[in-house]
Chains A and B, each alone.
Chain A
Amino acid sequence: MNRVKDLFKSTKENGRAALSMYVTAGYPNLDASYSIIKSAIDAGVDIVELGVPYSDPLADGTTIQNASTAALSNGVTLQDCIDLAVSLRAASPNTPIVLMGYYNPFLQYGIENLSKECGLAGIDGLIVPDLPPEESGVLQDALNLHGLDLIYLLAPTSDAARVEQVIRRTTSFIYCVSVTGVTGARSTIEADGLELVSQVKEETEFPVALGFGISTPAHVREASGVADAVIVGSAFVDKINNDLEGDLPKVIATYVDELREAL
């Protein structure tokens, strides 16, 4: 069984893009993360990206930086993130779950051990924003051995040779970054990002996702016109921030409804 392949097969058949959700694991706390994500899956989120908090998130804007810092001060570890995935997997057998995080925490856990534990937890893959294909061999080999995928990123600055290199190594889907910049909500989607998706799709059959800066139903509508999956990250974290004392699962479910309608 391959959850990612099954999902994209089904969304393609239904003629829609998939909706992927990023949240920082353990923000505002681990229990809340579980209820928020569970509620989002029930409301129609197709892919879950669990953000592993890191002390030096240099590809992230302030929203995710702050969530990451808060999660770390709650004592959240990579082990907690894997354990959270175990609980989510029990609640949702078919939703693809990937860990997204910087390389050093994965490296310190031990690449072989990590791959094994992630496989046992029912995690489907890893996204590592500071691990370009030039450095990813060790991790990708270990993950593949345990049936997991390493998901590569492409940016508007990636030239044709880099696009080709990523396609050659891809086993699951490709994550296109919509902007030349860090994560965080923006007012519009840059044309560069949409163009990148179209270019990559011409070169490969693998599904192509678009993320970074996508925060409104209008963005989702625009992105889903070209991409096979639309990734919303900082906007979810902002929703959590804005309603810390409120009924977060409900707030998130309402937001997912709005985004799903725009797909």
Chain B
Amino acid sequence: MKQKDKVGSNDRFGGFGGKFVPETLMSAISELEEAYLSASQNPGFLSELDSLSKTYAGRPTPLTLAKTLTKKAGGATIYLKREDLAHTGAHKINNALGQALLAKRMGKTRIIAETGAGQHGVATATVCALLGMECHVYMGEEDIERQAPNVFRMKLLGANVIPVSSGSKTLKDAVNEAMRDWVTNVSNTYYLIGSVVGPHPYPTMVRDFQKIIGEEIKEQLRELEGKLPDYLIACVGGGSNAIGMFYPFEKDTSVKFIGVEAGGSGIESGAHAATLVAGTPGVLHGSYSMLLQDQWGQVIETHSISAGLDYPGVGPEHAYYKDIGRAEYTSVTDEEALEGFQLLSESEGIIPALESSHAIIFGTKLASTLNKSDIMVINLSGRGDKDIDTVARLQNVSL
């Protein structure tokens, strides 16, 4: 049954979103909502964030013309938005900086976070080191296994990495454990969620901290091409890099949005994480959105080669974009993602994260069917150094 549509209500995207959390957290969520509203209109807060974004995170990130890739595809001109060049190697730093500054403003001393690929955990550990805050990162045991370099990075940065052994031992379970920690330590603890998921106001707030990606693209492309892009392509796990890229173009209806989900071993195999492609509406981790679940409403285990996309839910604003047809969502398999990983490394001298490799391969294939006058931007959400072990293992190479 569909939730009552509350279009226009500020905690909903169409019918999606809301706050489905235990009573214990409701006051904390209201406090967060008020603090965020006030901070987002406070010149001091905004200028501190802006200054750190420039001098610490390395913004604006470049928009790189992918010459060889464009030539190989033989269709649309392909640009890459280089979030891989942001400090810590992914777009995650944008949100971590914003939320950590907010936490500090709220007087919270203890930061908790969940992480899948480890990119959000590293970003959070980084800003906590910068701002002198205590940091605890929940990470599924399976992810700890496949993302060992990021685990070591977080420890170097002074964070406490807490292994999660419940459920599928991946991102979903790390979120559950972080929520339990939050419920228990809500008075002094700030939960720094890494994607556009969770209860309101997180999906809105995280989008706002990530929308700098799309704003920069708009500005950079105006200078380079003097026009808007025709296609924006991004991978979608929880969906923060994608929404950050899409949102500033929401009203520019000529710009097509395509989100690429993790097709794993193929949609028909059932072993995938393509929530928008194959899911149904439901409630997980505090919001009503699309969900991979069985007929009884139990969340099912997902599979993806990339830990950052291995999640059965998705941000409610993406569910809304799909519902109203503003964005299209598709998926590519593990195998195709590896092809994208190899392709970008060889063609452009850029090793992409396995997450971003999904967008790379889909975008390149799509570009080959488009006109030469079309302009496509692919969000290169992160660098692939963290994935070297995984890829080497698949190629039977021992490092």
A130–B18 CA distance with the chains assembled, in angstroms: 12
A55 engages B167 (CB within 8 Å)? yes
Q: Report whether A159 and B3 are in contact in the complex, using a CB–CB cutoff of 8 Å.
A: no
1/0 per position for A162-196, CB-CB distance to B under 8 A? Answer: 10000000000000010011100000000000000
Q: How far is the CB of A139 from chain B (nearest CB, A)?
A: 9
CB within 8 Å for A77 and B296 given contacts A137-B4, A155-B24, A182-B180: yes
Q: Known contacts A58-B180, A104-B284, A130-B22; is A157 also within 8 Å of B293 by CB? A: no
Q: Which residues of A contact B269 (CB under 8 A)?
A: none
Whether A182 pairs with B183 at a CB distance below 8 angstroms is yes
Interface pick from A21-29, A38-46, A106-114 = A106-114
CA distance A177 to B19 in the complex (A): 19
A129 CA to B183 CA, complexed, in Å: 12
**In the assembly, what is the distance between CA of A96 and CA of B370, in Å?**
65
User: Can you list, as one digit per residue, whether each of A219-243 has a CB less than 8 Å from chain B (1) or not (0)?
Assistant: 0000000000000000000000000
A132 touches B19 (CB 8 A): yes
Min distance, Cβ B170 to any Cβ of chain A, angstroms: 12
A4 at the interface (CB under 8 A from B): no
Pick the contact of B283 from A61, A109, A130, A132 — CB < 8 Å?
A130
Give complex CA distance A112, B1 in Å.
8
Are A107's CB and B282's CB within 8 A? Answer: yes
Interface string of A44-85 (1 = CB under 8 A from B): 000000000011111111000100010010000111000000
Q: Is A18 an interface residue (CB 8 A)?
A: no
CB distance from B292 to the nearest CB of A (A): 11
Contacts of B176 in A (CB 8 A): 56-58
| A55-B298, A103-B283 given; A180·B21 CB < 8 A | no
Say yes or no: is B132 at the interface (Cβ < 8 Å to chain A): no
Interface string of A103-134 (1 = CB under 8 A from B): 11111111110000000000000000111101
What chain B residues lie within 8 Å of A69 (beta carbons)? 166-167
User: Which of B20, B175, B299 contacts A55, CB < 8 Å?
Assistant: B299
Complex formed: what's the CA distance from A134 to B21 in Å? 10
Question: Given A130-B22, A137-B4, A158-B26, 14 other A-B contacts at CB below 8 A?
Answer: A56-B172, A57-B176, A69-B166, A78-B296, A102-B283, A104-B282, A105-B297, A107-B283, A138-B1, A154-B23, A157-B23, A157-B187, A162-B23, A181-B183
